[in-house]
DNA sequence: CCTGGAAACGTAACCGATAACGATTGCAGT
DNA sequence: ACTGCAATCGTTATCGGTTACGTTTCCAGG
């Protein structure tokens, strides 16, 4: 039976041990200048009361807390992968992790969520923060590492090689024989969205195909944003034979719309996504996508942040991780394509 | 460009606005007794400095923070599902969520992790906590809801109907014709592990089969714990024709060992797990398992905690959610079984 | 003009812990 | 016995914000 009832404070311990709070603090932190006898008394009182130092009070007084923060707007599959990676990087490192996620109380406020989150945590509670897909450039007294930063940011960040990944994805479709390839873009302020669109354009251009702006739908990475865009693309008189979506979440919505409109996948339409979230493997057919290992992004971000906090970081402050194409059943040659 | 540089404090705001910190506090919290002119001045200063109140300082002074905590020992697939559910329940509720996960700094300390975590958060930072699979009974000044509590706990908790789930799983194997069914148990202190073993025993007994203790391996829910146990079961002179593992993580290890020892699944051996983690659908063959919707557990736990905190909870304090069997490729009739 | 009371605002104590600093004690060296 | 240093420990300011309480201001009513 573990008791945390009415948490004992440091002054409770001091009273029981018959010493001052300063002495208790010294014992707790292993500082110099306490006799063995006093240490024993204090230890005993701590044991007896089940005392645990308050993270809040400690962090207010001290600057260093050995806690790193991770702030995120929403919590989705890829967020979980990031977390797993970050936890792995921090295991046995002496750093605990606090994840702060808001309840989206202020609808219109959500645009600056990272500012609020970081200000609340970074004041004193954490030694540094990882920010997942921020809306803007973020600064703070303590180090910050962005995962998937805004375009043009020069702050420390970890991101996937979105350009190469998108290029490979579109080249895959081109290799299958597709010539009219639609694209559903992500939120344009993000570097990732921009790079993925660039990859799409570059692959087409390199293949000698002129980019058709009407085949590009402007989404925002929110899965729901893809639904009307996919519908628009597929209800044209001349629908594309393939659609490349800038995220798996949006790609899954494309699959939904395709089914709804009677397009068979991959017979009538090939679909390729980006991210390789777990759900991508569960659809029927499985979603061809670009794997960017969110786990790895989380791992590297935590590793970098830890080093920045302890002032040991040596490497580049902008890390780019490789991507790889995962071919599943949602992509195939177009029905009209001549073999070879 | 968002600036959080050198976070402004309340006294900064007070200085700029030419008032005392008390007045700033009153404006921030919308308290009575401030003239319209002063409110405007303070608001302007807040805007100008980009002031955000410090969660730490606020929570130290005030008891209520509108932040709920979730503490977990490790971060695995099911933890992510729980989080998603909890976030969903809290969306637009006015409560933010803090997840605290330790880095396992103290190897031997990990046994009482929830005590430390809760003491650190619950002191003042959070209004209540969800504890995922605790090691012991936990008490706190603030409300606590346990997901998958210890056996015999009477504290608020949310748990799956492990008894029914396990019974159904074993009945499924019995229905396929299996008679020698191995079991790999979970950490026995957890109610879930105990119930799953009870379900296993009950199903066998009901079918008129005597439980063979040598077919039961004592695992601890840690996937690695299953490897030697599975090896021992399969290297017997008379190996079981099916193995039911108390968690998917352990079941996946059984699949590994089976492959290693040349058992084909489901030909030579049927394997059934429990949890229905995403990975269970990705193996070849897919893992037959019992779905317990960790998402739903997280959702209900957060909903209950929120109500406990606001003192509005009406329902039972011990919630049990239904489970369902998900049949995939890893279970089939035993090779030796007569048809029908 | 004086008084009462409410509104508006500042002062200071306080939450729990830390650390700079000062005070006390013990002990060795002279 | 006296000095000096080190070991030990308590006092107090401090972190940022909240709130009980006291003080000032202002206006209405007598």
DSSP string covering B190-220, please? BHHHHHHHHHHHHHHHHTT----GGGEEE--
B47 CB within 8 Å of a chain A CB: no
Whether residue B112 lies within 8 A of chain A, CB to CB, comes out as: yes
Q: Which bases of chain C are contacted by protein, using any atom under 7 A from a CB?
A: 7-12, 14-20
The pLDDT of residue B109 is 47
User: Are the CB atoms for A105 and B92 separated by under 8 Å?
Assistant: yes
Interface of B with A in 298-337 (CB under 8 A): none
Backbone phi and psi for residue A337, each to the nearest 5 degrees, phi listed first:
-70, 135
State how far the Cα of B8 lies from the Cα of B17, in Å rounded to an integer. Answer: 13
Q: For residue A105, what pLDDT is reported? A: 46
How confident is the model over B158-213, as pLDDT tens digits? 999 999 999 999 999 999 999 999 999 999 888 999 999 999 999 999 999 999 99
Is A141 within 8 Å of B96 when comparing Cβ atoms? Answer: no
Cβ contact B317 with chain D strand, < 7 A: no
pLDDT, tens only, A131-149: 998 888 877 778 899 999 9
Min Cα–Cα distance to chain A from B219, Å: 23
Q: Which two tokens mark B313? A: 């909870």
Distance, first Cα to last Cα, chain B: 71
Q: In A144-190, which residue ranges form alpha helices assigned H by DSSP?
A: 162-176
- Can you tell me whether residue B270 is helix, strand or coil? strand
Q: Are B265 and B271 in contact (CB under 8 A)?
A: yes
Distance from CA(B34) to C1'(D27), angstroms, rounded: 17
From residue A250, how far is each of A89, A134, A185, A212 by CA, in Å? Answer: 30, 19, 9, 20
pLDDT tens column, B233-275: 999 999 999 999 999 999 999 999 999 999 999 999 999 999 9
Average pLDDT over residues B32-48: 92
- The stretches of B123-247 forming alpha helices (DSSP H) are 162-176, 191-206, 223-234
Q: Say whether pLDDT at B108 is over 60.
A: no
**Residue A282 contacts residue A248 (beta carbons within 8 Å):** no
Q: Smallest CA–CA separation between A339 and chain B, in Å? A: 32
Does residue A257 contact residue A229 with C-beta atoms inside 8 Å? no
Tokens for B325? Answer: 């069997």
* Closest Cα in chain B, distance from residue A236 (Å): 36
Q: Which of residues 90-109 of B touch A (CB under 8 A)?
A: 90-105
A38 touches strand D (CB under 7 A): yes
Q: A112 CA to chain B: closest CA distance, Å?
A: 8
CA atom of A63 to C1′ atom of C18, Å: 10
**Count of CA atoms in the C-beta half-sphere (13 A) of A19:** 22
What share of chain B has pLDDT > 70, as a percent?
93
Q: How far apart are CA B327 and CA B290, in angstroms?
A: 8
Entry pTM = 0.84
Residues of chain B found within 8 Å of residue A120, distances taken between Cβ atoms: 52-55
User: Looking at residue B104, what is its pLDDT?
Assistant: 61
CA-to-C1' distance for B9 and C4, Å? 39
Opening angle at CA B180, ends B212 and B201, nearest 5: 50
Per-residue pLDDT, averaged over B97-106, amounts to: 72
Residue B14 has pLDDT above 90, yes or no: yes
CB A19 within 7 Å, strand D? yes
Among B7, B75, B87, beta carbon nearest to A122: B7
Which pLDDT value is given to residue B116? 74
Q: What is the pLDDT of residue A298?
A: 96
pLDDT band at B138 (very low <50, low <70, confident <90, very high): confident
HEC profile of B41-104: HHHHHHHHHCCCCCHHHHHHHCCCCCEEEEEECCCCHHHHHHHHHHHHHHCCCCCEEEEEECCC
Contact A100 B100 (CB under 8 A): no
| pLDDT greater than 70 at residue B339 | no
Count of C-beta atoms within a 10 Å radius of residue A308: 18
Distance in angstroms: CA A89, C1' C25: 49
Question: How many helices (H) does chain B have, and how many strands (E)?
Answer: 11, 12
pLDDT tens digits in sequence order for chain A, 340 residues long:
334 445 788 999 999 999 999 999 999 998 988 999 999 999 999 999 888 888 888 888 887 788 899 988 777 778 888 998 999 899 888 888 888 887 664 443 466 777 777 777 766 788 899 999 888 887 777 889 999 998 888 999 999 999 999 999 999 999 999 999 999 999 988 899 999 999 999 999 999 999 999 999 999 988 999 999 999 999 999 999 999 999 999 999 999 999 999 999 999 999 999 999 878 988 889 999 999 999 999 999 999 999 998 888 888 899 999 999 999 999 999 986 544 3
List residue ranges whose Cβ is under 7 angstroms from nucleic strand C. Answer: A 9-11, 21-22, 24-25, 28-29, 31, 51, 53-54, 57-58, 60-62; B 18-23, 32-35, 37-38, 60-61, 123-124
Give the pLDDT of residue A339.
44
CA distance B190 to chain A (A): 14
8 Å CB contact of B139 and A2 = yes
% of chain B surpassing 90 pLDDT? 61
What band does B322 get if pLDDT is binned at 50, 70 and 90?
very high
Tell me if chain A has a CB within 8 Å of the CB of B152. Answer: no
- Point out the residue among A55, A92, A279 whose CB comes nearest to the CB of B121: A55
Render the burial of A227-236: b for 16+ CB within 10 Å, e for the rest.
bebbbebbee
In this predicted model, which residue has the larger pLDDT, A123 or B222?
B222
Find all residues with CB under 8 Å of A245, minimum gap 6, and list them. A183, A184, A219, A226, A251, A253, A254, A271, A272, A273, A274
Rounded average pLDDT over B145-164: 93
The pLDDT, as a whole number, for residue A101 is 82
* Range list of β-strands (E), A39-125: 67-72, 96-101
pLDDT of residue A78: 81
Chain B contact present for A295, CB below 8 A: no
- pLDDT value, residue A106: 43
Is strand D in 7 Å reach of the CB of A60?
Answer: yes
Banded model confidence at residue B123, pLDDT cuts 50, 70, 90: low
What pLDDT does A8 receive? Answer: 84
- Contacts with B80 from chain A: Cβ below 8 Å: 77, 80, 83-84
**Tell me, what's the pLDDT at A116?**
75
Within 54-83 of B, beta carbons closer than 8 Å to A belong to 54-57, 59-60, 74-77, 79-80, 83
Report the chain B residue with the minimal C-alpha distance to residue A91.
Answer: B103
Contact A129/B at CB under 8 A? no
**Strand D contacts in B 26-45 (CB under 7 A):** 26, 28-29, 31
- Distance, in angstroms, between B333 CA and closest chain A CA? 25
Q: Mind listing the pLDDT tens digit for each residue in B275-321?
A: 998 789 888 899 999 999 999 999 999 999 999 998 888 888 999 99
Distance B22 CA to C15 C1' (A): 16
Q: Would the CB atoms of A59 and B59 count as touching at under 8 Å?
A: no
Q: Which of B93, B123, B279 sits opposite A54 (nearest CB)?
A: B123
Q: How far apart are CA A113 and CA A136, in angstroms?
A: 10
Nearest CA in chain A to B95: A103
């Amino acid at each position: 039976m573990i008791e945390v009832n009415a948490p004992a404070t440091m002054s409770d311990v001091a009273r029981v041990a018959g010493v001052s709070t300063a002495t208790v603090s010294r014992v707790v932190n292993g500082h110099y200048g306490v006799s063995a006898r006093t240490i024993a008394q204090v230890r005993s009182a701590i044991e007896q009361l089940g005392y645990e130092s308050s993270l809040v009070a400690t962090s207010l007084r001290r600057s260093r807390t050995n806690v790193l923060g991770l702030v995120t707007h929403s919590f989705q599959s890829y967020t979980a992968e990031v977390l797993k990676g970050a936890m792995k990087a921090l295991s046995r490192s002496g750093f605990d992790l606090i994840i702060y996620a808001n309840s989206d109380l202020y609808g219109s406020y959500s645009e600056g969520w990272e500012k609020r989150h970081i200000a609340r945590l970074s004041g004193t509670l954490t030694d540094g923060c990882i920010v997942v897909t921020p809306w803007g450039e973020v600064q703070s007294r303590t180090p910050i590492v962005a995962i998937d930063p805004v375009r043009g940011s020069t702050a420390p960040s970890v991101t996937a090689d979105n350009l190469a990944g998108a290029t490979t994805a579109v080249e895959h479709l081109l290799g299958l024989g597709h010539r009219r390839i639609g694209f559903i873009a992500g939120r344009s302020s993000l570097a990732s969205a921009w790079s993925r669109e660039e990859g799409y354009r570059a692959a087409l251009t390199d293949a000698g195909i002129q980019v058709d702006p009407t085949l590009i739908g402007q989404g925002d990475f929110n899965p729901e944003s893809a639904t009307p865009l996919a519908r628009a693309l597929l209800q044209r008189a001349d629908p594309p034979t393939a659609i490349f979506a800038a995220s798996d979440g949006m790609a899954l919505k494309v699959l939904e719309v395709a089914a709804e409109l009677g397009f068979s996948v991959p017979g009538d339409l090939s679909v390729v996504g980006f991210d390789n979230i777990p759900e991508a493997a569960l659809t029927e057919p499985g979603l061809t996508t670009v794997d960017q290992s969110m786990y790895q992004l989380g791992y590297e971000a935590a590793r970098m942040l830890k080093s920045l906090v302890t002032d040991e970081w040596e490497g580049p402050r902008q890390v780019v991780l490789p991507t790889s194409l995962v071919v599943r059943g949602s992509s195939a040659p177009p029905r009209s394509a001549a073999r070879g």
